[in-house]
Homo-oligomer: A and B are copies of this chain.
Amino acid sequence: MNSVQFTAQTSSNGVVERDFTVGGVTGALWSPTPGTGRAPLVLMGHGGGNHRKSPAMLGRAQRLVAGGGFHVATIDAPGHGGRPRTEHDEREIAVMQQAMAVGEPVGPIVQRHNAHLAERAVPEWQATLDALQELPEIGTDGPVGYFGLNMGTAIGVPLTAIEPRITAAVFGLFWPESLARAARQITVPIEFALQWDDEHIPCESGLTLFDAFASKDKTLHANAGRHKELPRFEADSAVHFFVRHLGGAVTSPA
């Protein structure tokens, strides 16, 4: 089994940020200031074309550490954040950019390529979780959450479907065709975000994916606005969700 290799560390506003690798996969871990004891772990999956320390990841990590006292981990998806792209990745990205350039629907291509990336990313997440749980401040007996939208949902849904250590998850902004089957295997509490006026994912498609989750405890948050207009306050809502389900403590107003 691969262990966590820390490669850099910074600290600000009561949050410690550590870059790490597990096997060849690059990741980042945000934690409360040391000495606060064990805390639950939230895994975060970034969106397509982004990386482990994109602004969205940094903002959500800050909120989760400050608002819930959690450890928060991200890893770069295959072909993202400096990780090498395969020839297959390059071809698919070219097809996607071509579709966008001529105004054709990107949904079918995004779904196909994200499903392919998920096949590679799910075992990487499981190996990363194995390694993170070896850290004394995380441990093997604490609860684990998953938080990812867009491609973070395309990877997180199949991951959560087969990974019993994940006991609560926040998903959103994806199509049902490639994910409904895995969603029907998920029974842990979920919160699911969609945009009511999404120009890429028809509202009905998002509702269909939400409906597919087998979870008895599930909440849909649908906001007016287009695909990229998800309100910032949904990140605060996710913190409250994980505090309810992972047992963190709200340590500051959020």
Contacts and interface: CB of A to CB of B under 8 A. Distances in A.
A215 interface: yes
Interface stretch (A22-30, A101-109, A177-185, A233-241): A233-241
B233 A224 contact: no
A56 interface: no
Nearest to A214: B224
Nearest to A236: B240
Nearest to A204: B207
A5 B201 CA distance: 54
Copies of this chain per assembly: 2
A218 interface: yes
B219 A220 contact: no
A34 interface: no
Contacts of A219: 221-224, 231
Interface residues of A, number: 22
A163 interface: no
Instruction: Say what secondary structure dominates the interface of chain A.
Output: mixed
Contacts of A250: 253
Interface in A192-219: 196, 207, 210-211, 215-219
A254 to B, nearest CB: 8
What 7 A-B pairs have minimum CB-CB distances, sorted nearest first?
Answer: A220-B222, A250-B253, A218-B224, A219-B223, A221-B221, A216-B224, A219-B221
Given A196-B211, A215-B224, A220-B221, 17 more contacts: A196-B218, A196-B220, A207-B207, A210-B222, A217-B224, A218-B223, A218-B224, A219-B222, A219-B223, A219-B224, A219-B231, A222-B222, A233-B240, A233-B244, A236-B240, A237-B237, A253-B253
